């Protein structure tokens, strides 16, 4: 199932369309196709921010040209949403009756029990 990820830029709520990765060894930034899964050292960008990205001074930018258009939800996404709504609408199961604690013949003190020597 394709998951919808958001742009990692602050206060941007658009869907991610590209992945930005820094190659520190080569002082290069690569902006390309949206990665299949979110990576901890990559940044997902919407089409707006991916097209307008500028690298730090002295760094090279490599744009892998592609159509940065969000395809929208897939049939799998809609199916998963329908299942989640169905699950949320189900009534909660009835709670089980609480089980009463066994009654001791003598009083308890904390986790210890007093046992008489007559028994």
Instruction: With CA atoms as reference, report the closest residue to 51 among 37, 70, 38, 64.
Output: 64
SS (H, E, C) 85-113: HHHHHCCCCCCCCCCCCCCCCCCEECCEE
The reply to whether the predicted model has a pTM over 0.75 is: no
Share of the chain above pLDDT 70, in %: 75
- 86 versus 112: which is more confidently predicted? 86
First-to-final CA distance of the chain:
66
Give the model's pLDDT for residue 37.
84
Q: CA torsion 104→110→116→119, rounded to 10°?
A: 40
Share of the chain above pLDDT 90, in %: 15
């Amino acid at each position: 199932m394709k998951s919808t990820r958001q742009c990692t830029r602050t206060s941007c709520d658009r869907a991610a369309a590209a992945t930005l990765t820094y190659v520190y060894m080569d002082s290069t930034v690569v902006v390309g196709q949206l990665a299949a899964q979110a990576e901890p050292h990559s940044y997902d960008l919407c089409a707006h921010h991916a097209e307008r990205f500028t690298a730090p001074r002295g760094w090279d930018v490599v744009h892998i040209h592609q159509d940065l258009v969000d395809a929208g939800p897939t049939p799998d996404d809609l199916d998963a949403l329908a299942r989640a709504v169905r699950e949320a609408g189900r009534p909660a199961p009835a709670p089980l009756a609480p089980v009463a604690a066994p009654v001791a013949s003598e009083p308890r003190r904390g986790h210890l029990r007093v046992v008489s020597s007559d028994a």
